[in-house]
């Protein structure tokens, strides 16, 4: 009785695909001759040439009593058999990495699951997967699965990503310049916007490429409309803004560390006193209740006033010069229109933290749940510090709100801000991105990394990405890093990465059913907008 049920279920799995051009029950093309862990060896029967020939990268089915186990062909070779009394003989064999299985329930409903409940046996028949089986594996578009491309080996099969798995477990898009990475990112983010209207997306855009890609669903921030007050910068960040990598400013930095907490205390007293001038110039910094990193507003006027007061009490000329240079440097930055996004209204106190968070992270979204931060117009000297502030605030936003408003933080050119080399880039930025990667999921803050040089990204940060979209990469170090980050089955396909075409990608991980070679869903309008933005930036 049980065997009869199994036979009916297997008939359902192997039923001809009604959508195929020539519906037919798949014919066996070989048999299992070896099993080892999650791998199998299949002896292939001689066949005439055809579209369903087994080749590396295709999927093969191993028929058991209750299911069809899915294997990814990773190697095909001709093997020499032991010689008998006659001449040597050969056989054609395929190596498969076993990934999952297709099963039918009692209602004859087919489903795919990763892993497999039983191993195949020696002698079990093997088949090439039909279009119908592939559609079961990759599923159909629904509320949680979005169509992003076609299977490279079979353009008639749509590839869908699991939006929940993609956004809640971090992801990365990796590929060399010119392979269609930006258009692929735009496709994925548009699908996320369509499927998750309550998810905020914040995109770091170093080259101002994406400004027109998302229409009226995104606000685009530039130095002209951004409000990022200087007091939001922690001490490392404000020091980087004012001094960069200059040497010989240790005394000036130490003075700032003492007086910034006093300026914060003075501002609160200024507010409590109804706007009177600073009334607490003599309080010691240790008694202010603040540190140089406390995100509390203060006024440049108060800071400069404290510096001037200290300078007036000094008799040593060289010491006075240190204060004079520091005051001049602060005044220069405050009066420079390029830094208006930081120092505008510097003596009024600026915006509140709530107003800034609402602008940056779209609270409420008002029909625009996405923010594109165009960095190309910012002074190059402060870009690292600005990105550090934004990354840190994104994590703090999730922490303070306890994940009430989920946020996807996407970082283009991630190798610039999360470098594997501790001597390259800005340390606070790398630490802020690392914190999102390691702890962000607990607070509803998720990470998307985009890079053309994955080998230069901090490996600990990249390892937190559960879904990888890997486009053409020719550098050996980049390929080796990807190989260490994916499963053994997926790693066997990485030798094909240098030969991928434009807008083709291998996709691995939680967001897709199987390791998949796919071609991005065409998005002509978005590609036109990306090209237009690049041309405009070159003219500027």
197 and 250 in a single domain? The answer is no
The better pLDDT of the pair 261, 516 is held by 261
220 and 367 in a single domain? The answer is yes
User: How many CA atoms are closer than 13 Å to the CA of 78, on its beta-carbon side?
Assistant: 4
At residue 90, the pLDDT reads: 80
Asked if 126 contacts 31 with a C-beta cutoff of 8 angstroms, the reply is yes
321 and 273 in a single domain? The answer is yes
12 and 96 in a single domain? The answer is yes
Does 532 score more than 60 pLDDT?
no
Q: For 466-499, what is each residue's pLDDT tens digit?
A: 999 999 988 888 888 887 777 655 666 677 788 8
Asked if 44 contacts 110 with a C-beta cutoff of 8 angstroms, the reply is no
Helix and strand counts by DSSP (H, E) for the chain: 17, 18
The better pLDDT of the pair 404, 523 is held by 404
Confidence of residue 156 (pLDDT cuts 50, 70, 90): confident
At residue 388, the pLDDT reads: 96
C-alpha–C-alpha distance, residues 429 and 236, integer Å: 10
Asked if 532 contacts 210 with a C-beta cutoff of 8 angstroms, the reply is no
At residue 524, the pLDDT reads: 44
- What tokens does 80 get? 């020499």
At residue 538, the pLDDT reads: 47
Residues 6+ away with beta carbon under 8 Å from 22? none
The better pLDDT of the pair 286, 388 is held by 388
In a domain, 152, yes or no: no
What is the chain's percent helix, strand, coil content, to nearest 5?
40, 20, 40
466 and 361 in a single domain? The answer is yes
Does 256 score more than 90 pLDDT?
yes
Domain that holds residue 119: 2-138
At residue 442, the pLDDT reads: 94
442 and 529 in a single domain? The answer is yes
At residue 21, the pLDDT reads: 44
Number of domains in the chain: 3
| H helix intervals, 208-316 | 235-243, 250-272, 300-312
Which residue, of 138, 168, 186, is where some domain finishes? 138
Which residue, of 318, 343, 368, is where some domain finishes? 343
Does 148 score more than 60 pLDDT?
yes
DSSP letter for 524, please. Answer: H
Asked if 433 contacts 461 with a C-beta cutoff of 8 angstroms, the reply is yes
Which residue, of 308, 343, 378, is where some domain finishes? 343
Q: For 85-129, what is each residue's pLDDT tens digit?
A: 556 678 899 999 898 899 887 777 888 988 888 889 999 999 998
Burial label, 496 (beta-carbon count in 10 A; 0-12, 13-18, 19+): middle
500 and 455 in a single domain? The answer is yes
In a domain, 144, yes or no: no
389 and 528 in a single domain? The answer is yes
List residues bridging with 30 in a β-sheet.
Answer: 44, 126
Average pLDDT for the chain = 84
Residue 385, helix vs strand vs coil: helix
């Amino acid at each position: 009785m049980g065997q009869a049920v199994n036979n009916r279920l297997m008939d359902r799995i192997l039923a001809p695909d009604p959508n195929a051009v020539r519906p037919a029950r798949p014919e066996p093309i070989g048999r299992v001759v070896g099993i080892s862990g999650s791998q199998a060896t299949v002896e292939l029967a001689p066949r005439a040439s055809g579209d369903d020939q087994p080749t590396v990268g295709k999927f093969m089915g191993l028929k058991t009593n209750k299911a069809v186990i899915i294997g990814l062909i990773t190697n095909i070779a001709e093997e020499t058999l032991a010689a008998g009394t006659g001449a040597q003989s050969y056989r054609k064999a395929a190596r498969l990495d076993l990934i999952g299985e297709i099963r039918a329930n009692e209602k004859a409903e087919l489903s795919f699951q990763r892993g497999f409940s039983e191993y195949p046996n020696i002698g079990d028949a093997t088949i090439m997967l039909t279009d119908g089986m592939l559609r079961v594996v990759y599923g159909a578009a629904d509320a949680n699965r979005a169509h992003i491309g076609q299977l490279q080996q079979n353009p008639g099969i749509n590839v869908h990503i699991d939006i929940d798995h993609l956004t809640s477990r971090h992801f990365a898009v990796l590929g060399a310049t010119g392979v269609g990475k930006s258009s692929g990112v735009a496709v994925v983010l548009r699908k996320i916007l369509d499927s998750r209207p309550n998810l905020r997306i914040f995109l770091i855009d170093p080259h101002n490429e994406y400004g027109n890609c998302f229409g009226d669903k995104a606000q685009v921030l530039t130095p002209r409309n951004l409000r990022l007050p200087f007091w939001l910068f922690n001490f490392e960040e404000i020091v980087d803004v004012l001094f960069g990598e200059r040497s010989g400013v240790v005394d000036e930095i130490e003075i700032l560390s003492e007086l910034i907490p006093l300026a914060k205390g003075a501002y609160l007293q200024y507010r409590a006193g109804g706007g009177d001038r600073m009334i607490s110039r003599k309080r010691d910094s240790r008694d202010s209740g603040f540190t140089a990193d406390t995100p509390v507003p203060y006024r440049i006027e108060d800071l400069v006033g404290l510096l001037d007061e200290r300078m007036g009490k000094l008799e040593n000329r060289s010491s006075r010069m240190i204060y004079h240079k520091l005051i001049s440097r602060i005044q220069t930055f405050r009066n420079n229109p390029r830094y208006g996004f930081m120092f505008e209204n510097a003596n009024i106190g600026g915006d509140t933290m709530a107003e800034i968070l609402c602008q940056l992270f779209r609270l409420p979204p008002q029909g625009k749940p996405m923010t594109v931060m165009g960095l190309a117009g910012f002074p190059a000297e402060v870009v690292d510090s600005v990105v550090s502030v934004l990354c840190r605030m994104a994590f703090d936003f999730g922490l303070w709100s306890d994940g009430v408003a989920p946020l996807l933080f996407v970082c283009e050119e991630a190798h610039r801000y999360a470098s594997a080399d501790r001597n390259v880039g800005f340390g606070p930025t790398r630490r802020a991105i690392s914190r999102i990667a390691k702890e962000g999921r607990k607070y509803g803050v998720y990470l998307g990394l985009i890079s053309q040089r994955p080998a230069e990204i901090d490996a600990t940060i990249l390892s937190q990405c559960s879904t990888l979209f890997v486009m053409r990469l020719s550098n050996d170090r980049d390929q080796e890093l990807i190989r260490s980050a994916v499963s053994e089955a997926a790693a066997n396909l990485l030798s094909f990465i240098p030969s991928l075409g434009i807008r083709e990608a291998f996709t691995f991980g939680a967001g897709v059913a199987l390791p998949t070679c796919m071609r991005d869903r065409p998005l002509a309008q978005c590609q036109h907008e990306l090209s237009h933005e690049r041309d405009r930036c070159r003219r500027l």
